[in-house]
Amino acid sequence: MARLFGTDGIRGIAGEYPLDEQTIFACGMALVRVLGRPLRVLLGRDTRESGPWIERLLVAGVRAAGGDVVSAGIFTTPGIAYLVLAHAELDAGVVISASHNPYPDNGIKVFSARGMKLDDEQEVAIEREIAALAHDPDVEARCREVPVAPEELLSPESERFAAEYLHFVRERAMGTSESRPLAGWRVGFDGAHGAAYRLGPRLLEELGAQVEAVGVAPDGRNINHHCGSLYPETVRRVVQERGCDVGLAVDGDADRVVFVSREGEILDGDDLLYILATHLQERGRLRGNVVVGTEMTNFGLEQALARRGIALVRTKVGDRYVLEQLLERGASLGGEPSGHLILPEISPIGDALLTALIVLNVMRETGRDLAELRRGFTRYPQHLVNVRVREKPPLETIPGFLHALAEARAQLGERGRVLVRYSGTEPVARVMVEAESEHLVREVAVTLAEVIRRHLGAPDAGSSGQ
């Protein structure tokens, strides 16, 4: 049986398997059968045009199996996870989102009553139920007769949910009795036309900041389009043109954030890890003097942390693997270069708004800007090439790949590293190379990517480096 759950839930092109009508309806039923009835689910979604009809089918499936759903409407992924954990009457959370992906994609993320992603056993059990239900003629007939209209689903409690979540973020991040701790600040905010397009500006304004917002006019198709955390140049223009003290950009479901300094320097998750790790260490709150990163974490960060006596532990790419190591080691900070940071003492998943406020509070407490806070971390040149592929066979079976990889590692020696992996959420092979020489990293990355493209490239295969 093929896996439906990837590193971030079920994901695909809306309208195509596994996000076709019958599979979505079956997924709703499967959640109840596996997680137990009576199941009360809190549901949120981002701003994609496919969100309402996916929501309608999923809700119908849950109800058909004896469960119930409360809809928070457009809501961030970490917000749903927090609310499920905070409310004993809720048994699970579901978010309809494809995070940072373009609008044709969508996905289904599921959280347990503890506000955490499901474990592998639960995911496999749900997949088995979906497989059994998806070919049931009765299920096919019922999903075509779904009567629930999208506008009927929004809970009258949705505003209370928003206020409660924003209060949690503020209290845990700022730690101050001041009513407007960001008064006098001008903050650039890019909401990616996504789930935080209202919550983000509202939170910052309630804290006293003057917000210069972009990416806050979703039309169903512009989510993540040349905006948000994947395109920090957008908020950088805002910072520079409107004289902001700082800028931040979130992605479509607001589980990741990147910053821009007042000078226009872009700070990703590695920069934020360094800032928070050193801040926590100085206050004796970095447990075990350990930070958890991933295979993609810049080698320069590992060196910078080591100079301060902080060990970097690497995991596979994916927030679930970062969280596993954080819990196993009792560590207090981990994250990914994408801006997906986890502070498990506060939340078990990455939360862009929470991370943003914590970083802003470090700036406020220390009186130092981002450039000062990241001093001591020198990034190694890194080049990433994304190759769209038509299939994902084991890398070692690609003709010529192992030979090319050995040659690449010989070229880099001790001066760099290379990582090749498939994306867990897209039909993409990623080739990442780091070294002291920018020319060398590009040469090695392009050579390796070409080997993959030659044998696996999709018809429209292209590449992008970042």
The greatest distance separating any two alpha carbons of the chain, rounded to the nearest whole angstrom, comes to 64
Number of Cβ within 10 Å of residue 119's Cβ equals 11
Number of Cβ within 10 Å of residue 264's Cβ equals 13
Q: Is 332 a catalytic residue?
A: no
- Residues in contact with 303: Cβ distance below 8 Å, sequence separation at least 6, in sequence order: 378
Q: Are 76 and 105 contacting, i.e. CB atoms less than 8 angstroms apart?
A: no
**Single-letter residue type at 120:** D
**Of the listed 50, 97, 99, 332, which one is catalytic?**
99
3-state helix/strand/coil string of the chain? CCCCEEECEEEEECCCCCCCHHHHHHHHHHHHHHHCCCCEEEEEECCCCCHHHHHHHHHHHHHHCCCEEEEEEECCHHHHHHHHHHCCCCCEEEEECCCCCCCCEEEEEEECCCCCECCHHHHHHHHHHHHHHHCCHHHHHHHCCCCCCHHHCECCCHHHHHHHHHHHHHHHHHCCCCCCCCCCCEEEEECCCCCCCCHHHHHHHHCCCEEEEECCCCCCCCCCCCCCCCCHHHHHHHHHHHCCCEEEEECCCCCCEEEEECCCCEECHHHHHHHHHHHHHHCCCCHHHEEEEECCCCHHHHHHHHCCCCEEEEECCCHHHHHHHHHHHCCCCEECCCCCEECCCCCCCCCHHHHHHHHHHHHHHHCCCHHHHCCCCCCCCEEEEEEEECCCCCHHHCCCHHHHHHHHHHHHHHHEEEEEEECCCCCEEEEEEEECCHHHHHHHHHHHHHHHHHHHECCCCCCCEC
And the tokens for 332? 């207090």
Active site residues: 99
